[in-house]
Structure 1
């Protein structure tokens, strides 16, 4: 069983709010105005907090205040804690029955594959509210108020349970004009054209050349942090990008993009639904997990 901290180390919300406002604004006057209190009331609350903690949080110099080193570190943690309390309260107001699922998504997967299907999930589960936030890399569930995440990578996430969703195939893609201008006909031709790289998949091109049995040295090119921008760069004729076919099927079917070389490669990594182990039985998450597995089965 998790032990709760002693009550003497749990200051009241009013004391913490006064301290956070003063720390953020750097002014007792500004904090008092924000909280609709008098300056003396805010000063008393901050002094009461310092007395309870036994630590000086501000240096007082004439009419100004300045955070101590300890106060600065404490302010950062308290600000995040208050943000999470506020977020939890807003979620509860939005759905007083507690049916809120906070889901971290990968930007392009979320926009192109998940979001168009979410209406179906919400229709099947009218009591559940889903909040979507973008996360490109794995994070610590203990430090973020997120119930689950869509993860692409290896089946490794410390402290989390992973459920396999799907594989993907990537293909070298570019604009039709780019392919014609550079006379791309064989895999080795890609070594002499601009290649577009995704920062979250730094060795993708090396893997593709190995897959295509093309000897290569260093592979350089422009860097992008999301598929949305790297795909637009490819459409705009800046180079060739390795793109998941299931996410860019529309562009390939319309002809905005073409296969520079029609040699798709199955990615070694996979898509997973990740969640902290203690949240695995949370009803909205269970409903979402069952639903997304059904959606994956329809498209496989």
Structure 2
């Protein structure tokens, strides 16, 4: 029997009414104000908290005259109970949202990947599955899927996320781009012409231009380097003729098609890193997440026609 199928120890499950009264009293620092919020008498709140303290065998409040303050144990328990109650609320609202194969999804993504690749395509998913509500947030730094209550995330790097299921979306080939007028001004016809030209750098890829120099057979590129936190800013800087950019090709296709940027040289810099969809391992995924996963994999492989089974809209009778 695994942990998910084992019975919960009921002696450690206080009544919900006692937990709600305790959370309100801890938040207000007052039994009276908690009672007002919960539409109870002050005596009822006091009895609920006494019941909770008796069950725990721990004093949660220090009572002095007409004032109550949390004990050290009470402050710890208040934080834990508040998170648990918030989880109950979230689970309830998400369950209510499940009509047919509807539901809610909380997705985290890298900022530029989100704005330049995911968001322009996500309307297709919404149109196919109108019953699913999606919340998309952005992250630049590592995060915790469980602690942040995220259903899934877009990860860039290696397939080495502990405790996660990972689905490869795409690799990353870097190409050199510049505004057409900038390329003409600096006669950027060969990699050797980059010497002394301003180079645009994405903060998490500080060595990308050095790798390019090695691939191109150059000793080094000694032009000034302008550093930006996100690829989206790098692309805009290139369009504004601030320098030459080395960026993932799939992120600049709109600019290349519009002519605001041009590819320089017939070179691609490959990488052993890639983009992945990740979700926690060992947890049953919701129907909504399964639909999103299948749809996203199809979009990444540009195979929407071949994946109609996964992308067909579903309804209450499915």
Instruction: Give the TM-score category using the shorter length.
Output: 0.7 to 0.9
Q: Equivalent residue for 1:287?
A: 291
Distance 1:14 1:190 in 2: 71
Given candidates 20, 25, 49, the residue that maps to 1:22 is 25
- TM-score normalized by structure 1? 0.78
Deviation string, structure 1 residues 58-92 (Cα, Å, up to 9, x no partner): 33444444333333332222222222221222222
Deviation string, structure 1 residues 232-280 (Cα, Å, up to 9, x no partner): 4554566555432212322344454455777442233111222233346
Q: Secondary structure at the match of 1:286?
A: helix
Given candidates 271, 296, 300, the residue that maps to 1:296 is 300
> How far is 1:183 from its partner?
7.6
Q: Equivalent residue for 2:90?
A: 87
Query: Could you say if the C-alpha distance between residues 30 and 162 of structure 1 is closer, same or farther in structure 2, counting changes exceeding 3 Å?
Result: same
Distance 2:179 2:31 in 1: 59
Please list every run of 5 or more consecutive structure 1 residues that lacks an aligned counterpart in the other structure: none
1:193 aligned onto 2:198: yes
The total of aligned residue pairs comes to 298
Please list every run of 5 or more consecutive structure 2 residues that lacks an aligned counterpart in the other structure: 305-318
Given candidates 70, 74, 94, the residue that maps to 1:71 is 74
In the alignment, is the contact (CA less than 8 A) between 1:172 and 1:243 conserved in 2? yes
1:159 aligned onto 2:148: no
Q: Equivalent residue for 1:44?
A: 47
Give the RMSD, CA atoms, in angstroms: 3.7
For the pair shown, which has the larger CA radius of gyration, 1 or 2? Answer: 2
> How far is 1:156 from its partner?
1.1
- Higher mean alpha-carbon deviation, 104-113 vs 94-103, is at 94-103
